[in-house]
């Protein structure tokens, strides 16, 4: 019931939920997101990397701009340039540059975060396509590139820019590698998850992650991917459209087809 007397239990029917503006908006967003992921998975590596880099950089710029508004008051405490005629040593100059980079206003932080997040996402995308998986090595390579670019655009470090660029890259890579390992330790997959890891990755890339439960219901594990047929997918109640996308992906994936021989 949509309404009732005071004290009565109000129950929303599925039809009520379907006409809820918030539910409709969430559903529409999810459809757009899944459609975008499915489209992106079919693109060439350069196109996918460019799109991922651009979208991540945009998100990073928004986050950096917001943080820049919070640190704007702090940045006003630092002069725009060293005192004229001052005899600052290299260590003092490096500290001065770091303070400016970390306490910059919205535009500076938006630029820094856009470069950092965009480069990280772009390299991660390329590594995932080339290596076919996401692991600590790929994560550290992406973080190294991100650190290098952040160091270049932010102006952090001392007079020896080459050394500082490498140091920043290594620092970013070590931090990212440590976080990746900690995340792995606290999210050990169950035996069932291991059996469906490749399937889960495939469905996620195609924007069809909500059908993972269908695969588990029909015991369609990673080992059955080369054997998938339209009837098998139909038996686990996957609609025609997603079935075609999944079968097309399996047919175009050389590694999966090779295992089926």
The answer to whether the pTM exceeds 0.75 is: no
Instruction: Give me the DSSP letters along 217-250.
Output: HTT--GGGGGG--HHHHHHTT--HHHHHHHHHHH
What is the distance between the alpha carbons of residues 45 and 18, in angstroms, rounded to a whole number? 38
- Closest by alpha carbon to 245, among 86, 97, 39? 39
Q: What is the CA radius of gyration of the chain?
A: 25
193-244 confidence digits (pLDDT tens)? 678 888 988 998 888 989 999 998 899 988 899 899 999 999 999 999 999 9
Q: Which helix (H) or strand (E) holds 194?
A: helix 191-195
Residue 96 has pLDDT above 50, yes or no: no
- Whether 215 and 232 have beta carbons less than 8 Å apart is answered as no
Residue 32 has pLDDT above 60, yes or no: yes
Enter the DSSP assignment of 133: S
């Amino acid at each position: 019931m949509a309404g009732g007397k005071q004290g009565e239990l109000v129950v929303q029917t599925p039809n009520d939920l379907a006409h809820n503006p918030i539910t409709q908006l969430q559903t529409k967003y999810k459809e757009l997101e899944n459609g975008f992921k499915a489209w992106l998975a079919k693109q060439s590596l350069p196109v996918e990397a460019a799109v991922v880099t651009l979208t991540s950089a945009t998100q990073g710029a928004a986050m950096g701009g917001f943080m820049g508004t919070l640190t704007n008051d702090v940045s006003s405490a630092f002069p725009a340039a060293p005192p004229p005629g001052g005899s600052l040593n290299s260590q003092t100059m490096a500290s001065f540059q770091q303070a400016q980079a970390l306490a910059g206003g919205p535009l500076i932080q938006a630029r820094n975060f856009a470069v950092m997040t965009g480069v990280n996402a772009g390299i991660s995308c390329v590594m995932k396509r080339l290596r076919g998986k996401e692991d600590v090595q790929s994560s550290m390579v992406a973080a190294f590139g991100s650190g290098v670019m952040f160091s270049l655009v932010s102006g952090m470090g001392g007079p020896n820019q080459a050394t500082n660029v490498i140091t920043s890259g290594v620092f970013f890579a070590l931090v990212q590698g440590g976080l990746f390992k900690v995340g792995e330790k606290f999210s050990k997959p169950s035996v069932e998850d291991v059996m469906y890891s490749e399937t889960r990755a495939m469905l996620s890339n195609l924007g069809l992650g909500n059908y993972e439960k269908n695969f588990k219901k029909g015991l369609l594990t990673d080992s059955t991917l080369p054997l998938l047929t339209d009837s098998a997918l139909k038996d686990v109640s996957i609609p025609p459209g997603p079935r075609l996308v999944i079968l097309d992906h399996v047919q175009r994936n050389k590694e999966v087809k090779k295992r089926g021989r």
